[in-house]
Amino acid sequence: MKKDLGQVLAVYPMPVLMVAAYDENEKVNVMNVAWGQICDEDKIILFIGEGKKTWLNIKASRAFTVAIADEAHMDAADFFGIASGNKMDDKFERTGYHAVKSDKVHAPIIEEFPVVMECELLEFLHSDHVDGIVGKIVNVKAEEAVLSENGKVDPAKLNALIFDQFQHGYYVTGKRVGQAWNAGKDLMKK
């Protein structure tokens, strides 16, 4: 029997995404965003409120990167979520992390995170109920250490962080339990 928990603002799992953009002086800012998702074959949507430092930087630069946080970099990933770039001028520098300029878009790539999407800003969405940033993914870069034999990102090697809003914890992905578009095919025969 299910127990009534009331209004719980949680969906599990949620990604732990590191969104980076330059400000008007080419200074790097990174934000931890759990509310983000692929929204088309070549697009990503990030639900970032207007006025956040990253939002302002993306508005100015018209580009951003989205890295997938991993277990090895959990401390910095969490810090990027609890520290505000609007209040802490040396937020990125405090981590000791390194950024290089993307060769595809006008945005920084944080070298420590193993997978990064390079994105061009398409639009800002604003309604009474949601604020979002939609970007076109123009390229993905990944460290060879997280690639499988077929040259694609291997979740078992990536150890991507996922966020749990129920308990406010971080977990790691990686265990494969089935093949998508195949696990349910026997039900198609009924």
**Spatial separation of the C-alpha atoms in residues 90 and 122, rounded to whole Å:** 29
Q: How high is the pLDDT of residue 188?
A: 86
> Is the CATH number 2.30.110.10 carried by domain 14-189?
yes
Q: Confidence class of residue 173 from pLDDT cuts 50, 70 and 90?
A: confident
Q: Establish whether the linkage from the previous residue to 13 is cis, with ω within 30° of 0.
A: yes
Q: For the CA atoms of the chain, what is the radius of gyration? A: 18
Contact 77, 68 (CB under 8 A): no
The DSSP bridge partners found for residue 98 are none
pLDDT tens for residues 7-22? Answer: 988 888 999 999 999 9
Q: How high is the pLDDT of residue 49?
A: 86
Q: How high is the pLDDT of residue 175?
A: 82
**pTM, to two decimals:** 0.94
List b or e across 105-130, with b for residues whose CB sees 16 or more CB atoms inside 10 angstroms. Answer: bbbbbbebbbbbbbbebbeeeeeeee
**Spatial separation of the C-alpha atoms in residues 133 and 80, rounded to whole Å:** 18
pLDDT tens for residues 18-76? Answer: 999 999 999 999 999 999 999 999 999 999 988 899 999 999 999 999 999 999 999 99
pLDDT tens for residues 70-116? Answer: 999 999 999 999 999 989 999 999 999 999 999 999 999 999 999 99
